[in-house]
Chains A and B, each alone.
Chain A
Amino acid sequence: MIIEIGHYALVLALATALIVSVLPVIGARRGDVAMMALAPTGSLVLFVLVAFSFGVLTWAYVVSDFSVANVWENSHSLMPLIYKFSGVWGNHEGSMLLWLLILVFFSALVAVFGRNLPDTLRANVLAVQAWISIAFLFFILLTSNPFLRLDPAPAEGQDLNPVLQDLGLAIHPPLLYLGYVGFSVCFSFAVAALMEGRIDAAWARWVRPWTLAVWTFLTAGIAMGSYWAYYELGWGGWWFWDPVENASFMPWLAGTALLHSALVMEKREALKIWTVLLAIMTFSLSLLGTFLVRSGVLTSVHSFATDPTRGIFILCILGIFIGGAFALFAWRAPMLKAGGIFAPISREGALVLNNLILTVATATVLTGTLYPLVLETLTGEKISVGAPFFNMTFGLLMLPLLVAVPFGPVLAWKRGDLLGALQRLYVFAGLALVAGLAFFYIQNGGPVLAIFGLVLGFWGMIGAFADLWYRANFAKVGLSVGLKRLAGLPRSVFGTAIAHFGLGVTVLGIFAATTFGTETVVEMKQGASVDAGGYSLTYDGLRDAVGPNYTEQRGHFTVSRGGVQVADVWSSKRLYTARRMPTTEAGILTFGLSQLYVSLGDAMESGGMVVRIWWKPFILCIWGGALVMMVGGFVSLSDRRLRVGAPSRKAKPVKATLEAAE
């Protein structure tokens, strides 16, 4: 019974969304306050209904109600409770429901925290959010209903895909969705602004905190996913340029560009049209990502059993929203007034460079991801585009950006002085160079290119603080005054420095791990040992063990350095009994920022085991850097200026606005 109520709540949500999508827009046009007031209330109701529906599905998982087809397919009564929760979104239907939940969650947030928005803008933004909600409600109700019943109800479920039975899955998708579904808010703001036909610095001021928050979550989500794949799949890699990874990475790149261009718009009223376009593109890439993952057009681990109707449905949603938004853009953009001129060498100029590089890099990732698909459709030829392609294109194109990052914050708005900036930065560049070389000598023995990469990493890390250093002006005013000055700086300046520092840390991690890492595949008999990264691993043999819903063979390894035992690690091969599916559970040991990664292969006839051992120096920097970027995002979000002194629009004659809106 409760299941049917959950289903019914979704239908009610659809009705609510229909109301919110139409009436407030009419209200905004006619200046009818009552109709506009429907938007926030309706959005809250929508959120409550979807949340209830999601709660019902979760409940069905927790009590293992196998009469629900979705639960039967993806759960098992013996599964630990935490995986019963995460199992809700570990399948197509449930993950779409989560998608929707987060979408309406953001609508509700705009409804609650958007009190300082002009009524018309808020009504329009929420209406656009409701349009998206309608599309996905239809999608769920018509093609992916998680509440379908089975009759008679089976006694036992088929178990969740073992790869997904991991703590990573519990956290990764919600974080990732908070990020990439969250860009819908930026999209809605952009479309609402186009509908109103006006856009100004105040608009950017409202949009920026949303973008920042969403970007922060997406950063965390991607880093989390990368780490999860690294330790769960047993292949030792942390990024594979898999289409589905790209699907989440492209919105991140575009969102990063948006974050920076919104800054220019807020501070200088320039790049208006571009920022609106970028907001639309970013969410379009999120939608495209949803399509790529959910339609099953790409062979990927991430796609579940898919059927073509779903793909076509999402393709329609994609076409309507992207096509509609771009048509609206083409129609309305010429009406927006361009503002603020600036010299090429200036803070604006640096941010434009950032945008240019990030969008071009996004375009190359998009090309690499879609090209095989397009080629197969047109010629029937099947090709694969892998890491070499992306390293050659994306990798090379991003290098100038990494060099330029420390320059941006030290350049002045409007007209900057490159020579002055160079003079200010050469000490930092020197420090980065010395640090990179020192690092290289300590680790020694990699290709020369690595020095460049390491220097680049340190350059990002050290250069990030150049702006703070000069603002405090320690050299002239001494330590105490300098510290006071630092304390007086707005938080967003620290946010920028921290996030840029994090980028440097990630770059350092990538270069260090790829250059100095080692990989050994050997056949090991009991008692044999292998060296990796200065440590010696001894294989102590295999043991059988039984888990709640799997059986496993665990190999034990003793790790020693200089003859002294420092650690030991288990690495296992599991067999999940319900699905008869084997998985590899890697053994990972952390030493400082570096890791030793042990993965078991097949048993040999001679009684040995094939073992794969990676030494991954400074690998934790990759995710640590992302974590630091996230902290930078939060620090910047906590800036009072984003909350206090709510931006208000300059009073303009009402008549002019109405004309623009016609």
Chain B
Amino acid sequence: MTWFRAALGAAMLFACLDQPVLATTQNVIFNGTITPTCTLVIATNGTMTVSPDLQSLSSHNSGGSAGTVTLTTTGGVSLSVDPVTTTTVPSADVTSTTWTPTYSAAGTHSIVETGSATSIGTPGADLVSVNLAGTKGGSNRFASGNYQATVTLRCE
């Protein structure tokens, strides 16, 4: 009887081994949504130098340098600069100055130097150069001393 049970069990096990294994699959869905995103990282501030006629204080002048900012975006944003409102001038400078901020970009996007807003529709990374020029008209001249101005670079 014991021998019969063992033989029956072995026969059933062998029959089961002969059956194909049934495999099942299920899809795992991943969703992700990225809203418009912008990152500005200021690398360097700019330096302004005065022109020989003392009527221009600009990062474009000889010896001056633009500020540099790294822009990384998903696209769907706008880049712009604000009019300059925050300046510090020497006490000897009592005449008005017209400040003109501009920017340009190179990299994924190419933006020629402008003071207007630029729409960026596609993703990418760029190096943005920010320039500032102060000018005086008529017989007015820049005075000796320290000048400081703040340019606001906006991504929205």
| A and B held together in a complex | no
Q: Report which B residues bind A (CB closer than 8 A).
A: none
Residues of A within 8 A of B (CB): none
